[in-house]
């Protein structure tokens, strides 16, 4: 809030005529504007909306009701030397009107010489091209930790609820990413249910957070139950992750370590990239957010959606932001005929990747590295780029063991894991899982448990992707073997190829 207050006071003092404040928290934003206006020479604050007109001043009550053009004209009627701030709720809906737009541009010229500012309050950015030079966009962030702690402490005290210091901090941390209004609502729900807010009611906050994220239609709150041990093979990648297990702690900050930025996982479909993203969140005990990048490209509001995604992710930090198949979202960005929206969304996104200081760990997965713009692969966007290739025989054995331990832990020893691994060359982890499922169908249809022979029979009927898309996969393997990415596995033909490239001449 301090950053917003300082920025707004500076803009008011510098006589920026028209400000556009994006927020879902109208009440809190108006309170912050009033505080800034009071600090800047005790300026008067006029609030207008379409239904009630101007409010707050007895002399102007109801003026310009249902008339946005008259709302602007009213600003001109006040004395030139009078210092004031005009808050226009939902005024973005009228900016496409030619009369309103022209009046706003004329008024902006006059206000440069007067101590008056217009502030448009809107939930998203929707500014016509002819007003972009007139309007200055200001972001109003979701409440920070201190603001949440203050509100939570006040509400708990007012309701007579008693939580320990640790439980209170857990509640504050759980409320990150929610507006003050939603925090009040979810605490009131717990109080209404039991007469006071209890420790077990913190789960209500998680449900409210899921609801909030669901309403954005951009991010999904993804449950992560997978563990690092569920990943067969990929030893280099797992070692890298385990070394960073405490990297989000206060102790790491005291040591001088920056927050980890993220990973780009490139490789063949079905090799465990998405599973790794889920396992990272579970292992690090962080919430997992899944971003649907395609939803960012929603016409004129694409940039607004991108900023909303960034704001929400940072408010929920520390967290893991999972971006699946990022290559499909950003392939051919320059050639899209959408008026430049894709380029602006992409530019905003990669700039955030490079400059973010918040503990949002981005895990992006890609199947086709050639489709990604070169800017995405530059150092600084991600901590590391890992190539996840087809599992080696040793890794296939580990993958079979992971699945069969989960499905048939009581008789795992009856399955010949070594033979299964040997008989399934070029199979990915997903294809191994599918072969086991097909074997289960075979056994179930015959009223018996499935066997090693059933799995081999199912595998013999499958044509792995490594054969149907051989050229594409070989190109991807050659790209990784050229040293453009770190190998996620320690063994396998690709590692041997890389060792051959690195071996000095005899």
Tens-digit pLDDT profile for residues 378-409: 888 899 999 988 888 999 999 999 999 999 98
Q: What is the pLDDT of residue 48?
A: 96
Q: Residue 363: name the closest of 293, 278, 287, 305 by CA.
A: 278
Q: What is the pLDDT of residue 298?
A: 58
The pLDDT-based confidence of 478 (bands split at 50, 70, 90) is confident
Q: Residue 349: name the closest of 399, 310, 377 by CA.
A: 310
Percent of the chain whose predicted confidence (pLDDT) is above 90: 43
Q: Residue 287: name the closest of 365, 118, 173 by CA.
A: 173
Coil vs helix vs strand at 39: helix
Within 13 Å and on the Cβ side, how many CA atoms surround 39?
15
Task: Compute the Cα dihedral for 98, 103, 108, 109 and give only its sign.
Answer: positive
Q: Are 387 and 486 in contact (CB under 8 A)?
A: yes
What is the tens place of the pLDDT at every residue in 241-261? 988 888 887 788 889 988 899
Coil vs helix vs strand at 363: strand
Whole-number Å distance between alpha carbons of 482 and 502: 9
In CATH, what number does 228-388 get? 3.40.50.300
Whole-number Å distance between alpha carbons of 318 and 251: 15
Q: What angle do CA 188, 193, 194 make, to 5 degrees?
A: 105
Mean pLDDT in residue range 72-83: 92
Q: What is the pLDDT of residue 223?
A: 76
Whole-number Å distance between alpha carbons of 290 and 254: 30
> Is 191 a residue whose pLDDT tops 70?
yes
What is the tens place of the pLDDT at every residue in 23-33? 889 999 999 99
> Is 492 a residue whose pLDDT tops 80?
no
Looking at the domain covering 2-139, what would its CATH class be?
alpha beta
> Is 186 a residue whose pLDDT tops 60?
yes
Least confident of 115-119, 196-200, 396-400: 196-200
Q: What is the pLDDT of residue 141?
A: 83
> Is 506 a residue whose pLDDT tops 60?
no
Q: What is the pLDDT of residue 133?
A: 92
Mean pLDDT in residue range 90-113: 95
The pLDDT-based confidence of 145 (bands split at 50, 70, 90) is confident
Q: What is the pLDDT of residue 122?
A: 93
Mean pLDDT in residue range 168-192: 88
- CA distances for 193 relative to 155, 187, 204, angstroms: 15, 10, 11
Within 13 Å and on the Cβ side, how many CA atoms surround 26?
13
Q: What is the pLDDT of residue 503?
A: 47
Q: What is the pLDDT of residue 90?
A: 95
User: What tokens appear for 427 in the block?
Assistant: 């199979």
- What is the domain partition of the chain in residue ranges? 2-139, 145-215, 228-388, 393-425+429-463
Q: Which residue has the higher pLDDT, 402 or 492?
A: 402
What is the tens place of the pLDDT at every residue in 443-469? 999 999 999 999 999 999 999 988 888
φ, ψ for residue 102 (rounded to 5)? -65, -40
Q: Residue 277: name the closest of 241, 327, 322, 238 by CA.
A: 322
Q: What is the pLDDT of residue 172?
A: 86
Q: What is the pLDDT of residue 124?
A: 84
Q: Are 371 and 365 in contact (CB under 8 A)?
A: no
Q: What is the pLDDT of residue 27?
A: 92
Q: Are 346 and 372 in contact (CB under 8 A)?
A: no
Average pLDDT value over all residues in the chain: 86
> Is 501 a residue whose pLDDT tops 50?
no
The pLDDT-based confidence of 431 (bands split at 50, 70, 90) is very high
Mean pLDDT in residue range 278-304: 77
In CATH, what number does 393-425+429-463 get? 1.10.8.60
Mean pLDDT in residue range 303-308: 76
User: What tokens appear for 234 in the block?
Assistant: 């990929």
> Is 121 a residue whose pLDDT tops 90?
yes
Q: Which residue has the higher pLDDT, 220 or 72?
A: 72
Helix axes 145-159, 165-175, angle to 10 degrees: 120
Q: Which residue has the higher pLDDT, 473 or 100?
A: 100
Mean pLDDT in residue range 351-370: 89
Q: Is the peptide bond before 318 cis (omega within 30 degrees of 0)?
A: yes
Q: What does the DSSP assignment read for 456-490?
A: HHHHHT---HHHHTHHHHHHHHHHIIIIISEES-S
What is the tens place of the pLDDT at every residue in 365-374? 988 888 888 8
Q: Which residue has the higher pLDDT, 20 or 325?
A: 20
**Domain 228-388 in the same topology as domain 2-139:** yes
Whole-number Å distance between alpha carbons of 268 and 428: 8
What is the tens place of the pLDDT at every residue in 338-350? 556 678 888 888 8
């Amino acid at each position: 809030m301090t950053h917003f207050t300082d920025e707004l006071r500076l803009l008011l003092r510098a006589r920026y005529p028209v400000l556009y404040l994006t927020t879902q928290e109208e009440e809190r934003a108006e309170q912050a504007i009033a505080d800034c206006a009071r600090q800047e020479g005790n300026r008067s604050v006029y609030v207008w909306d379409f239904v009630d007109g101007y409010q707050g001043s007895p002399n102007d009550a109801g003026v310009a009701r249902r008339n946005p053009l008259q709302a602007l004209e009213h600003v001109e009627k006040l004395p030139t030397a009078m210092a004031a701030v005009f808050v226009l709720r939902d005024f973005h809906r009228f900016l496409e009107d030619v009369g309103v737009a022209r009046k706003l541009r004329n008024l902006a010229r006059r206000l440069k010489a007067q101590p008056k500012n217009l502030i448009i309050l809107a939930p998203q950015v929707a500014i016509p091209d002819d007003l972009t030079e007139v309007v200055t966009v200001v972001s109003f962030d979701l409440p920070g930790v201190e603001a949440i702690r203050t509100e939570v402490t006040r509400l708990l005290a007012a309701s007579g609820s008693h939580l320990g210091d640790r439980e209170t901090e857990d509640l504050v941390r759980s409320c990150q990413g929610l507006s003050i209004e939603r925090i009040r609502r979810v605490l009131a729900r717990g109080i209404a249910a039991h007469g006071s807010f209890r420790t077990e009611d913190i789960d209500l906050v998680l449900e409210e957070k899921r609801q909030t994220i669901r309403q954005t239609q951009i991010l999904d709150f993804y449950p992560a139950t997978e563990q690092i041990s569920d990943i067969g093979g990929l030893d280099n990648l797992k070692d890298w992750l385990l070394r960073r297990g405490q990297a989000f702690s206060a102790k790491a900050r005291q040591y001088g370590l920056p927050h980890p930025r993220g990973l780009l996982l490139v490789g063949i479909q079905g090799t465990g990239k998405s599973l790794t993203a889920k396992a990272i969140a579970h292992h690090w005990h962080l919430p997992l957010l899944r971003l649907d990048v395609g939803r960012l490209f929603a016409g004129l509001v694409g940039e607004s959606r991108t900023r909303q995604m960034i704001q929400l992710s940072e408010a929920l930090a520390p967290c893991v932001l999972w971006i699946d198949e990022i290559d499909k979202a950003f392939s051919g960005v320059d050639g899209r005929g959408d008026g430049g929206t894709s380029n602006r969304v992409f530019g905003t996104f990669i700039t955030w990747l490079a400059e973010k200081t918040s503990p949002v760990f981005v895990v992006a997965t890609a199947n086709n590295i050639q489709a990604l713009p070169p800017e995405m692969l530059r150092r600084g966007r991600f901590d590391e780029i890992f190539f996840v290739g087809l599992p080696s025989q040793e890794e296939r054995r580990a993958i079979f063991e992971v699945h069969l331990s989960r499905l048939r832990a009581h008789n795992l020893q009856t399955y010949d894991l070594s033979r299964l691994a040997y008989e399934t060359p070029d199979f990915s982890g997903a294809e191994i899982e599918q072969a086991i499922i097909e074997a289960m169908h075979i056994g179930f249809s015959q009223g018996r448990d499935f066997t090693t022979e059933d799995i081999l029979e199912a595998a013999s009927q499958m044509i792995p992707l490594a054969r149907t898309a051989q050229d594409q996969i070989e190109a991807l393997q050659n790209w990784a073997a050229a040293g453009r990415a770190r190998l996620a596995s320690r063994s396998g033909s690709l590692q041997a190829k890389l060792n051959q490239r690195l071996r000095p001449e005899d």
